[in-house]
Amino acid sequence: MATNKRVFTLRLEEENFEKIKMIADKNKRSIAMQIEYLIEQHIAEFEHKNGIIEIDK
């Protein structure tokens, strides 16, 4: 399955990893998709408060 998602390494404290894993399981998401969802939520909150972040494409 092809994807246009960028791959990178993320190091987490063991406790944070386990908590995210539990949240992901409850939400029926993979850990990666849960982390992406959390990041998207944070970006939306940031942009709501600070304005849209413009990205040069």
Residues 31, 39 contacting (CB under 8 angstroms): no
**What are the extents of the domains in the chain?**
14-47
Residues 43, 54 contacting (CB under 8 angstroms): no
pTM, two decimal places:
0.85
Given a cut of 80, whether residue 49 has pLDDT beyond it is: yes
Tokens 């406790």, located at residue: 15
Q: How confident is the model at residue 55 (pLDDT cuts 50, 70, 90)?
A: very high
Q: How confident is the model at residue 57 (pLDDT cuts 50, 70, 90)?
A: confident
- pLDDT tens column, 23-39: 999 999 999 999 999 99
Given a cut of 80, whether residue 1 has pLDDT beyond it is: no
pLDDT value for 2 = 74
